[in-house]
Amino acid sequence: MTDAHEEEVLARIAKGLVYTESEAAFQASRRRTDQIFAYNHTPPSEADRRRSLLVEILGSVGERTVLLPPFHAGFGSNVHIGDDFFGNVNLTFVDDVDIRIGDGVMIAPSVTLTTTGHPVHPSRRADFGRFSEPIVIEDKVWIGSNAVVLPGVRIGHGSVVGAGSVVSRDIPPMTVAVGTPCRVLRAITDEDLTTRAQGGTTRMRPTGSA
């Protein structure tokens, strides 16, 4: 494939247009599959080794990051994580394009962040035809167990996504959003400062454990 052809394919990907597996094959060198395998098989006692591998795998990674194995990623190199991140087991990144995660984000078990979908008509899925749009998760977001975040979604600062939700559209900052499809349930307010505290009350349980 010529440089001009590669640039044309990358331009189509950037616009969210359909491209095929063969057309995108030149990006294979950016996959970090061996390093991901090694990370998932590194003993918990080897924290420095895990950190070193994570720096090799991800496009960028902040300080005090916890990512419990196993995790899965198509590339790994298209994932960017900020400071004070906690990702529980079985986190899956379908990162054909960028997934950008801010500071202080918590993600519960078995969450999928997928930047890629496929056309509805089967003839357009030949050669694994697909489209990709980036995902952005802003600072201090909490995503509950088994949630799925779909291509092109932005989740706003401080928001909570309920367990089992399918997030197909943007979530505003400082809101609780739940369901399939995921919809805003309510705003997060100062009243929430007292929930789960001594003498406080619990209004709802929107997510699974982180």
Residue 203 clears pLDDT 60, i.e. is over it: no
**Distance of alpha carbon 78 from its chain centroid, rounded?**
10
> What is the mean pLDDT of the segment spanning 161-171?
98
Is residue 204 domain-resident?
A: no
- Of the pLDDT bands very low, low, confident and very high (cuts 50, 70, 90), residue 158 is very high
* pLDDT for position 196: 73
> What is the mean pLDDT of the segment spanning 58-65?
97
Is residue 205 domain-resident?
A: no
Query: Can you tell me whether residue 5 is helix, strand or coil?
Result: helix
* pLDDT for position 1: 56
Is residue 126 domain-resident?
A: yes
Is residue 150 domain-resident?
A: yes
- Of the pLDDT bands very low, low, confident and very high (cuts 50, 70, 90), residue 200 is very low
Domain carrying residue 56: 3-194
Catalytic residues: 118
Within 8 A by CB and 6+ apart from 89, the residues are 68, 69, 70, 71, 109, 110
Core vs surface per residue 124-159: b (16+ CB within 10 A) or e: eeeeebbbbbbbbbbbbbbbbbbbbbbbbbbbbebb
* pLDDT for position 202: 45
> What is the mean pLDDT of the segment spanning 94-104?
98
> What is the mean pLDDT of the segment spanning 82-111?
98
Helix axes 33-40, 47-57, angle to 10 degrees: 160
CATH assignment of the domain containing 164: 2.160.10.10
* pLDDT for position 68: 97
Amino acid type, 12: R
Token pair belonging to 100: 């950008």
Token pair belonging to 59: 């496009």
Residue 201 clears pLDDT 50, i.e. is over it: no
List the beta strands (DSSP E) in 154-210: 154-155, 160-161, 166-167, 175-178, 183-187
Q: Over the stretch 108-152, which tens digit does the pLDDT of each residue have?
A: 999 999 999 999 999 999 999 999 999 999 999 999 999 999 999
Q: Over the stretch 3-54, which tens digit does the pLDDT of each residue have?
A: 888 999 999 999 999 999 999 999 999 999 999 999 999 999 999 999 999 9
Token pair belonging to 195: 């929930």
- Of the pLDDT bands very low, low, confident and very high (cuts 50, 70, 90), residue 194 is confident
Is residue 102 domain-resident?
A: yes
Is residue 44 domain-resident?
A: yes
Is residue 201 domain-resident?
A: no
The number of domains in the chain is 1
- Of the pLDDT bands very low, low, confident and very high (cuts 50, 70, 90), residue 2 is confident
Is residue 200 domain-resident?
A: no
